[in-house]
């Protein structure tokens, strides 16, 4: 935390952290009043919430589905196939996406052409950026994220399912009344933790997906900080540190708020 005080100083490399002049919240005000603030915050929050709301329930649904697969070999094969993409590096993943979504040679546009449609420049269209990001993230992480739910499902007392079968409960009723309550505490804990990272998006992935055509919707706080602090002609270490500290503060506030709400409604909380 020692370096975080750069956000409140007019930092000079020659003077060092302690020798630089204290300016208080000047860098925060500069960011709040900049013409890029609204766009960057909107892109960051929109992409994070899209990822959270679309990607959070799917591993739960996937784990519940696998839990009722009777064929053990098929179940393990599906787990392996869905888990494997998690080990693909971000650079390789983006390379695969660029090949699949290429306007003239990509398999997606070739299929569109078979049905008489026109080729689409997916990576160059700002409106497609968030959907491509979220869809590729779900494909890469759904197998990994469902592991903890599968582990929780195996911990449920089998006698509850046996009693449900005796009472004539269908599979959907057993999922609703036995499985979901059994994994709910873990799901709430993970949701609280994910909420604390609502302003954290995949920096490397977003940066690699960016191009001049989709910059309107792809510029987020992390990439903006990187460009301001490291790649600009005159690096603004103090300004970029202030933006990063602002993001961390918002994440902390959201984490505390959601945790308190979970505790109020009588569900599981972090503390």
Domains recognised in the chain with CATH numbers: 2-264 (1.10.3720.10)
pLDDT of res. 268? 66
pLDDT of res. 247? 87
Query: Model-level pTM?
Result: 0.86
With helix as H, strand as E and coil as C, how does the chain read? CHHHHHHHEECCCCCHHHHCEECCCHHHHHHHCCCCHHHHHHHHHHHHHHHHHHHCHHHHHHHHHHHCCCCHHHHHHHHHHHHHHHHCCHHHHHHHHHHHCCCCCCHHHHHHHHCCCCCCCHHHCHHHHHHHHHHHHHHHHHHHHCHHHHHHHHCCCHHHHHHHHHCCCCHHHHHHHHHHHHHHHHHHHHHHHHHCCCCCCCHHHHHHHCCCCCHHHHCCHHHHHHHHHHHCCCCCHHHHHHHHHHHHHHHHHHHHHHHHHHHHCCCCCCC
Q: Which residues of the chain have pLDDT under 50?
A: none
pLDDT of res. 28? 92
């Amino acid at each position: 935390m020692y370096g975080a005080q750069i956000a409140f100083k007019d930092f000079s490399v020659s003077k060092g952290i302690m020798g630089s002049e204290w300016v208080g919240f000047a860098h925060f005000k500069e960011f709040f009043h900049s013409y890029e603030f609204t766009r960057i915050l909107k892109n960051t929050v929109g992409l994070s919430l899209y990822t959270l709301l679309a990607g959070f329930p799917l591993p739960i649904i996937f784990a519940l589905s696998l839990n009722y697969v009777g064929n053990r070999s098929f179940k393990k094969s599906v787990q392996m196939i869905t888990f494997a993409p998690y080990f693909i590096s971000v650079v390789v993943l983006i390379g695969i996406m660029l090949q699949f979504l290429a306007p003239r040679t990509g398999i997606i546009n070739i299929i569109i052409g078979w049905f008489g449609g026109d080729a689409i420049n997916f990576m160059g269209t700002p409106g497609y950026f968030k959907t491509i990001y979220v869809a590729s993230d779900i494909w890469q992480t759904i197998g990994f994220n469902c592991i903890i739910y599968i582990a929780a499902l195996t911990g449920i007392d089998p006698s509850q399912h046996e009693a449900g079968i005796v009472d004539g409960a269908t599979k959907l009723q057993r999922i609703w009344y036995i499985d979901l309550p059994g994994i709910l505490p873990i799901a709430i804990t993970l949701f609280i933790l994910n909420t604390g990272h609502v302003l954290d998006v995949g920096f490397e992935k977003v940066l690699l997906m960016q191009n001049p055509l989709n910059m309107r919707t792809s510029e987020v706080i992390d990439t903006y900080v990187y460009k301001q602090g490291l790649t600009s002609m005159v690096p603004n270490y103090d300004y970029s540190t202030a933006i990063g500290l602002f993001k961390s503060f918002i994440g902390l506030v959201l984490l505390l708020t959601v945790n308190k709400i979970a505790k109020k409604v009588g569900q599981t909380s972090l503390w």
